[in-house]
Chain A
Amino acid sequence: MKAPFRYGLAGLLTLGLLAACGGEETGSDNGATPEPGTRFTGLIDFPPLEALTSAEVQQIIAQAAAEAIAQGAPAAIAVVDRVGNVLAVFQMNGAPAQLLAQAEVPRTIDQGPLSGTVLVGAAGSGLDGLTIPGAAPVGAIAKAVTGAYLSSGGNAFTTRTASQIVQENFNPEQTFQAGGPLFGVQFSQLPCSDLSTRFASDNGAGTVVGSTVGPRRSPLGLAADPGGLPLYKNGTLVGGIGVIADGIYGLDLRVTDIDSDADMVDELIALAGTAGFEAPAQIRAERITVEGNTLRFTDTVDDTDRLRSNPAAAPSFATISNGFQGNLIPVNGYYATPTGTAADVLAGVAYGDPASGYVPATSLAGGSPFENLSAYVLVDENGDPRFSPKAAGDAPGGDPANRLTRREVIALIDEALGVALAGRAQIRQPLNSRIQVTVSIVDTNGEILGVARTPDGPIFGTDVSLQKARTAMFFSSATAGTELGAVAGATANVGAQVINIPPLQDYVDAARAFIGPDALTGTIAFSDRGNGNLSRPFFPDGVQRQQNGTPSPNGPFSRPFNSPDPTQNWSPFSTGLQFDLIGGNILQHVFFILGLGADTPVGCTGLSARDGLAFPRPALSNGAQIFAGSVPIYRNGILIGGIGVSGDGIDQDDMISSLGLRRAGLRLGNGLGHAPEAIRSDTLVPDGRNRLRYVSCPFRPFIASDVQNPCQVL
């Protein structure tokens, strides 16, 4: 059995190594006197071009199925490649068909100041407690995507890792600790995203073709239900496997225990599937610390100690398919079985090949628009760039002259990538690896002006960086409150279950009661750090109870944690405004998968387009994100856009977005930069005691610089 808390030793080792690597000072990386034009002049290794073959996917499924048989738990098994292409969905005979979105036991807080609180599992609170007939394979796909998307060549994370970092405290159950660092990431890669691509869809006028490249959307967003693992080949990330055997799409509320076999049967089956495709031991979550906590990979000591089968001796795929132990099954919008044979098991695409949707920018036909030679970009089916830097089409402050230019977008991305590659990664091994992230820039309509990344950033950061950029821009804008207030509430029926989504004016009212009557009118610049403070079930973040013993209030954008009506309570499946913006899109998409209607449109939320001629989609077209890593962009005090960063620790993401913006402004010298200090979210003290934050940066973050607090200059 693994020791649950190893961070003491790991932390000491980290400190020792950091102390040993100091020394060289580089002027441009010295955040105390930031200079424009920060450049990382080295080259980061590009990930090798590796991909799963069809035979290997069959082997993975066969190994997983053998363990499922041994566990007496027939399962739905999905395998995807690194960019989310679904390579196979195998439904074993007798596997549960339905999917119950629900946290695993215990369902009631049984310790601490809120002992007795019914936390989750209440029908009517977002997706929590929702049973969806026929959706088990959908959950398996979401788990496979999560295993692939959260991982990279420097970190191997699982859905158990995800569970650890999305809850109300980090670690879960450690009261008075701030919420999980990736609080809210579960509602990313959404099926309505205008960045994540579709394999197939139905736009309401018939079944239509989708894109042939990634990154793909995920049917339910990212999963926190153990049983989704990454797959590696020769040490290179090539995909993920997801398993649903228990019919539950939940999470692990308690990281300090070891789940029983029955409680982690999904994970054991998935683990068997990874045999021969295991994550390298040195980069697994259990070798990575965040905020003093060691992350979890699985609940096993090693990959085989709790397996009841021998993956090496698993029957071949040919002997278990075609009804013998199960069948490949189609999933609307994700996977087709045109032949009904093993030929339907697809090979993956190699990340970095144009077919994956990601390439080095230097390989573009027209050359890279960026100075940074390590930049990767997204491409379409023809290998053409999808989000090549471009000028904005908006009119900030009523004047088109204020808009971001293409040159400025390029400078912002170059500076941000420069900061990233000069920095020390939080979530990558070995220690002193450089930070790998994605950077997105948007204008005040939410239009994508540019997206670029370092070579090996986790895929999830592509969509999330865009969510963050849009969220910082949107909540800092003058019309945010009006636009949110125009979205009516809704009720959806799923069988006998009722999902209630409140009118979004409720959140606007709550924000104005909490912050002040001019909240969401453009008078305050909200970074995603500040917005995140308002989106937690406790204010201040993680603090369940105030000094006088009364429960802390929830942030105005969050559901309450301990409402007298448990159907209103917060849970990872019902975060508050973030979920209520896109809950209808998820439900519509699930109905589409089940053959009950058209797909959700491209462009999330019920918000109206701000300027439909320039950008005919909502400003939050891939949903909102509520963990740190973005700031709004201003020019001479006028909001002109947002920059978002995702893929490493949240303090690193914060630093890259905020220093990237500052250094681009210094380089350009034309008024582009941060919000005036007087209007930043860290000027707000809503309860008279606790100040919101704007940006929090890591200590001594650069590999070749001794600077301790680079963000003091902001």
Chain B
Amino acid sequence: MRRPFIALPPLLLAALAASGLAAAERLSADGAALPAVSFAPGGALEARVDAGGDEVLSVHALLRPASSNQVWMRDRDGFWTEWNGDRAALIPAAARREGDELVFKLFTAPPSGVSSMTITLAYRTPEGLKYGWFEAAERSE
């Protein structure tokens, strides 16, 4: 998916969610750039993914603070640990299944000192990994 290159019309930008991905987005084997989101100050963030009938073997969530080159992965218990970049080393996270949708609870409050970040969501299928990413940031109000 190509990144927007020139200013987008404001109307196209208005449809973005306030506390997570508004509509469940599809992930892809090549990676999908998803719409940016914002969340309330100190607030929670969750995101929905449309698995589209895929057989999901495991789910994964990565967080990259905007201000650093660290990458953290979420485990089933909600703890974030550093990821070394190896796909084989990705540990499973947890997601709630609602029909074809996977609902990721990412955090109830953002990690300390991290107000802007890139979230990558992924799941494994028998055919391989599908993933996508979006920018998430804390609102200023």
Contact = CB atoms under 8 A, between A and B. Distances in A.
A490 B5 contact: yes
Contact of B133 (A208, A591, A607, A616): A616
Interface string B104-137: 0000000011011010101000000101110101
A382 B6 contact: no
A50 interface: no
Interface string A144-162: 0000000000000000000
Contact of B131 (A206, A386, A447, A612): A612
Interface stretch (A124-132, A287-295, A387-395): A387-395
A381 B31 contact: no
B66 A602 contact: yes
Given A208-B139, A616-B118, A487 B68 contact: no
Contacts of B13: 204-205, 597-598
A548 to B, nearest CB: 41
A617 B66 CA distance: 11
Nearest to B113: A382
A208 B140 CA distance: 5
Contacts of B23: none
Contacts of A505: none
Interface in B6-28: 6-10, 13, 16-18
A387 B113 contact: no
| Max chain B C-beta neighbours (<10 A), residue from A209, A488, A605 | A209
Interface residues of B, number: 53
A449 interface: yes
Which label, helix, strand, loop or mixed, suits the secondary structure of the A interface? loop
Contact of B35 (A205, A388, A501): A205
| Max chain A C-beta neighbours (<10 A), residue from B35, B87, B112 | B87
A196 to B, nearest CB: 11
Interface string B82-99: 001111000000000000
A470 to B, nearest CB: 13
Contact of A205 (B6, B37, B85): B37
A394 B85 CA distance: 7
A597 B8 contact: yes
B140 A381 contact: no
Contacts of B32: 612
B141 interface: yes
| Max chain A C-beta neighbours (<10 A), residue from B112, B118, B131 | B118
Given A487-B5, A488-B5, A602 B135 contact: yes
B115 A208 contact: yes
Contact of B113 (A194, A380, A607): A380
Given A204-B8, A488-B2, A613-B62, 11 more contacts: A205-B16, A206-B139, A380-B68, A387-B69, A392-B85, A487-B2, A585-B5, A597-B13, A613-B31, A613-B120, A618-B3
29 contacts: A204-B8, A208-B116, A208-B138, A209-B41, A209-B139, A211-B66, A380-B65, A380-B67, A386-B68, A387-B68, A388-B68, A390-B70, A393-B84, A488-B5, A491-B6, A584-B5, A584-B7, A591-B7, A597-B8, A597-B10, A597-B13, A598-B10, A601-B3, A606-B3, A612-B131, A614-B85, A616-B31, A616-B118, A616-B133
Which 4 A/B pairs are nearest by Cβ-Cβ distance? A393-B85, A612-B31, A208-B137, A606-B5
